[in-house]
Amino acid sequence: MKTADTAARPILTLRRYVEELESSITLCLADPQPRAAHHLRTSTRRIEAQLTLLSLLPNLTLPEKVVNRVRKHLRELRRAAGRVRDLDVQLGLLDDPASLIGGTASTQLQRHSHKLRSFFAEERQQEASELQSLLQQLQRKLTRSLERLFEVLKPFEPLTILASDLIAAVQSWFEHESLAVLQGKESNAERLHDIRKSAKLARYMLESAPASARKARKLARAFEEVQQSGGRWHDWLTLFAQAGQRLGKKSPLTGALMRHRDTSLAGYRAHLKTIRQLHPRRRTRARGPNSRKLVSVCLFTCSRSAAFPTSRPSPSSSGSSPRASRT
């Protein structure tokens, strides 16, 4: 298989995700159904992942003002859509009270489940309305900020990343983001949730490689497992906290949710223990103030004449290949 067949094209991938975001915005403006709200939040995360990947490219420096404006709008949309999505998930977890205990639900458990569901349903309606209001306010601003971003990125559109180098980049980034937790030095709920979000971004960065890049896609699936197991734990944790606040710690529903929280946390920790052994890193982690920036220029390839028109001589004049030189 040719190397080019497995190379990622991050800017073209970014364009595709922006198109998906625009479609999700249109659907949510019409009716923020669960699937539309979920796709809206996922699209913002995928765009964020591509921006993170681009920030790792040693030969590509984007104007902070342009990128930060896009990130700001995405963050606002993601949080609003996230509140709707979280309520959809919590409603789904309470859909069958008997499944929470693996048997027949008591009358009290059913009553408490119904009470909590009623509260979530009312809150969901309010959050969905607020999401639509925010979309109406931000849609035009977001469109302009994204147009400006693509104007800046236009000279770099031919840029590609070899699948093997994409794997190395993502592993290094994820290790930097999660090292303390993976080594067992930090394990509070907030940090564990941060690791889950980092795993999600790592997955999305790896999925910018085509399906033919089997190793990259295999590692993406491993990160997805971490993301999903961490998500299950956080969903039960959040629901348990809500039940304790509104029903009290002595509620049978609160007790059932606590057991699911603890079981899912054990599964999540098991995934965290295995993620680092899947693909051993091939290079030394960068150190110092720029440790998050990849230091090996040769990790990335692109059309030099298109992506770096003024920084280096053309291949015809220098006799060198289009591949970025090593530093």
Domain-wise residue ranges, the chain = 3-318
**Cα gap 171→294, rounded to integer Å:** 11
If residue 301 lies in a helix (H) or strand (E), which one and from where to where?
strand 300-301
Q: pLDDT at residue 275 above 90?
A: no
108 vs 319, higher pLDDT: 108
The string of pLDDT tens digits covering residues 43-91 is 999 999 999 999 998 878 889 999 999 999 999 999 999 999 999 999 9
Q: Mean of the pLDDT values across residues 148-157?
A: 94
Q: How confident is the model at residue 320 (pLDDT cuts 50, 70, 90)?
A: very low
- State whether CATH 1.40.20.10 applies to domain 3-318: yes
**Closest to 200 measured CA to CA, from 174, 218, 179:** 174
Sign of torsion, CA 135 136 139 142? negative
Q: How confident is the model at residue 3 (pLDDT cuts 50, 70, 90)?
A: low
Cα angle vertex 63, ends 313, 44, to 5°?
Answer: 120
Please give the C-alpha separations between residue 240 and each of 15, 120, 234, 256, 299, in angstroms, as whole numbers: 39, 13, 10, 9, 45
Per-residue pLDDT, 293: 45
The string of pLDDT tens digits covering residues 204-254 is 999 999 999 999 999 999 999 999 999 999 999 999 999 999 999 999 999
